[in-house]
Structure 1
Amino acid sequence: MATSDVTQGLTADVYGQLHPVETDEMIAQKLKQFEEELEKLPQDQKHGLQQAQEKCPAELTNEFKLMFLRSEVFNADLAAKRYAHYWDKRVEICGPEKAFLPLTLDGALRDDEVALKIGFVNYLAGCSDPHGRAILYVLPGNQDKTKYTRESMGRAVWYVIHAALEEMPEAQKHGIIFMAHPAGAKLAQFDRAMMKVVLSAIQGTLPVRLSAFHICQPPAFFKIILPIAKLFMSERTKKRLCIHFGSTAKICEKLTKTYGLTKANIPQTLGGDAKVDTPAWIETRRAAGK
């Protein structure tokens, strides 16, 4: 857990996370510290950021920088490092020709519709836990590497996470819940390199606080996959893993009683009422120019 001076005296929630009370004065002070920490970074850690300052300065708003501060619980040093790394990684994920375009369906994602709509990582629009955390539903069984490139899926994952932070502002403060349901997936669908792309996105790159990674009803070969996945996990991420075995009813009950989720915010395939329709969500965002 990132620590900073704004968390003293706070009580951790069910996921062990602390949530500082934000004030305009505190935010202004932390943004100032953030800029100071950016200045301290070596030039070789700011190549992507410097390109962004030249090519898309309109995107480098205080609101965007605030997301990185929130992701590191207002630790300005860690937030600045994450911000600089984000831009280097964005160039790597999107390529230099798209990295500085808006992360919209008609911008940097214009060639990634198949990867987006296949439903590997799905945002449950309008769903959250009691603290306002966004929920992303991961369906490994939907992967089909014959239909998209790994790079395209990487951009799709970035887009979905960005969209969740945009549509659910409280998620910037309190975090995101990943809920994976690999039941029915085949061993051949598990892509080691894709695991690395997803984990690197949420570990020190995108401005996201990972609150939990619930893995529900893992298949028998999960014992083969988990040690490999853990090779790419930070210690913080490993602590966020919550593995649930048993019937759908039992898992749904645990998600509600232990973690405070309601059935309205749990996918139908896990016993809840939330409908997963990523293609429809994509078209809604396209119509809005997002």
Structure 2
Amino acid sequence: MERAKVTLSGPQETMLATLCGKARDARATRPILGDRWAAQVLDQVDYDLAKTGMNPTSAAGVALRSRWFDRWTAEFLAAHPRATVLHLACGLDARSLRVAHGPSVRWVDVDLPDVVALRERLLPRPDGDYALVAASVLDEDWLAEVPADRPTVAVAEGLTMYLREPDVRRLVERITGRFPGGQLLFDVYGTIGIRLQRRVTAVRTSGSRLHWGLDDPRAPLAWHPGLRLLDDVRSVAMPGVEEFPRLGRLQMGLLARIPKLRDVGRVLRYAF
């Protein structure tokens, strides 16, 4: 089978690093996420994987972050069997296939048109009430077409750091203002992570630039009167780090002890 040539650049290109990390984890002896779709998709693309900079520790970090988002999404769907999932900047992620959900769940994957075209070629379409939307998450038209008739969980993995704060705030305001109640799940870099962005190989080689850093997870509470912080998990001290390779465990333990570096990244869960 002819491999799909990937000609993306900028933030869209960095999704190949995420895919590579999950595929590498899937092929590990003891995977953290075990995403078999990532491994299958990676085998179908024509791309220089050296540009991703993935090593065993960074791959484990990608897999663990996704496992947390999968678990939080699954918990929400267990509590709300008739719900809407908004997967923002879905890229080539197979969350709609990994996370079990019944026919009463409406699942909406959203990404830019060139990413959606690649996704349609490489990933199977999930069963049930599913929509794949080709649009920027910052566009307002697509969101207006999603019915606001059920509890909604919005998942944004690896997105917010590429946006500017006014855009993140507007996105949060639009989701919390439109839907009847639910949760927001997203990861952030701290301002130290933004300053160190050139050390991230995938960011550097793709020509991307990171913009928004968040040091105080309570700051977004001012964006919506009903917003509540449920979980604030530091990336370097995330439960599950003990499953990393030995070198990775040592690195995370060291970072967690350095005040200026322990807030390099977080995964966050809010209710609204």
Q: TM-score of the superposition, structure 2-length normalised?
A: 0.33
Give 1 or 2 for the bigger CA radius of gyration: 1
Q: Which has the higher strand share?
A: 2
Q: Which has the higher helix share?
A: 1
Q: TM-score of the superposition, structure 1-length normalised?
A: 0.32
